[in-house]
Amino acid sequence: MTYDYIIAGAGAAGCVLANRLSASGQYTVLLLEAGGKDSSLWFRIPVGFAKMYYNPTFNWMYYSQPQKQLGNREIYAPRGKVQGGSGSINAMIYVRGQAHDFDDWAASGNDGWGFKDVLPYFRKLENHPLGDSEYHGGSGPISITPMKGQTHPICDVFLEGCSQLGYPRSDDFNGAKFEGAGLYDVNTKNGQRCSSSFAHLHPALSRPNLTVEHYALVDRVLFDAAQQRASGISITQHGVVRTFTARKEVILCAGAVDTPKILQLSGVADRELLARHQIPLVKHLPAVGRNLQDHLCVSYYYKANIPTLNDELSSLFGQLKLGLKYLLTRKGALAMSVNQAGGFFRGDQQQAHPNLQLYFNPLSYQIPKNNKTSLKPEPYSGFLLCFNPCRPTSRGHVEIASKNPRDAALIDPNYLSTQKDIDEVIQGSRLMRKIMNAPALRSITVDEVLPGPAVETDEQMLQYFRDNCGSIYHLCGSCAMGADEQTSVVDKRLKVHGFAGLRVVDASIFPNVTSGNTHAAVLMVAEKGADLILQDAQV
């Protein structure tokens, strides 16, 4: 079958593209998704992300290669295997990043991607309760909900403690003032998750020019005889190989792990990697799968002398009470992210910009080591504080494990491989201890459960981080945007170097990771990418 546009991946970006490219009715669009539909009620309820954390039906449940700097641990990397992608299973925090993050994109050879250029697309995607303003949009499909006024009362103690230490307050991390302590926004609507699947794709499903195929695992991109144009795509669906032809473009939206995997399986990658797996070379593009980046975080655990969410969620009665409140009002803990307060801070006075992100969580829980165990609150009144460096400089890679598309790619983020990243681990650890020593927080804290007072020196803090840190699931950069095809994969119009009719539109095109949660930036890339594609269609 033939379509104008074939989109590989119905994740956060793919759903946006499917809506925007099919909206006029002028073009036929095929959207391919390796997973199933997001019809379960748990995709609607914000707290449902905990149910998907170790769910192989809806989660690829990837793991990294052993990380040398982290005691050879394999780090968990959940990825959405469902319509909506990782935007259907994430914790919904909505943070764009700092202006200079995007200015750095532009400075690396990508004109049109500076903050002033991308701000209109952030505004376009948003439906913000304050309506249209300089920094926000009031009529976009993605609903933004400030958690202010709804968070657990203990979050106010965190904000007071930061104020006591002289840290600034940010009332809107996506507004004029990024730096400081504050409460996060989430992408929810009326107490329900507002993923790009729900906001973009579901309303478009009735269009006759839009087709969605589920359980469609991409085998490879097809090229014409001259190998200068992408002509279609091959998939395996329920054991049957199917091919589709694209009149205009094939657009890869499979994310930072699977987009480079698809390109490599298609013969577009480093020639040595392809030769190793006996895949015919279509184009030597050495940057495919390189430049992988992620945010790495660690949690400190505290016992409180006042009630926290642990008290409500640890008993059946408390769970029923929260559930009833949610059913009746669409409010309460089940309507929000567990990551409620936090902010962006400078690790020292030499930093030109905030370089550390903090999360203050009114619930404390251990990430279970056994993936058959669910997330459960600690058996005491507790909370946690965690941090991650905003712009780590460690760079890793993604490579196919074999020529079999069903084999998961090898993910090697190469965590903590630069001195800057190590230095920021110490800065972040010291910052958390400093904030927890504020009078307001001291007054509600019984003790630090982990790492505890025995961990005090820089060396001990670094070792605690190495032993206990984990991904915060912001993998990006593995098909980076840039002008040089030796060091990048797509140009500033998101076209794969050397080809017509082939683009990448997802987190893999980030030249550098953004400061904060990456979901909002992925939605922006999709909105801008859709405009670029539609502009080129008119040429």
Instruction: Just list the catalytic residues.
Output: 474
- Count CB atoms within 10 A of the CB of residue 453: 7
Give the residue from 463, 476, 472, 537 showing the smallest Cα distance to 501. 537
Q: Is 33 helix (H, G, I), strand (E, B) or coil?
A: coil
Total residues belonging to the chain? 539
Rounded CA-CA distance 430/424 in Å is 10
What tokens were used for 226? 């001259």
Residue 127 bridge partners (DSSP): 138, 143
Contact present, 33 and 277 (Cβ < 8 Å): no
Give the residue from 448, 359, 3 showing the smallest Cα distance to 158. 359
Burial (Cβ within 10 Å: 0-12, 13-18, ≥19) of residue 25: exposed
Give the residue from 7, 359, 25, 15 showing the smallest Cα distance to 201. 15
Residue 237 bridge partners (DSSP): 216, 240
Find where tokens 């790619």 sit. 409
What tokens were used for 224? 């014409």
Contact present, 398 and 411 (Cβ < 8 Å): yes
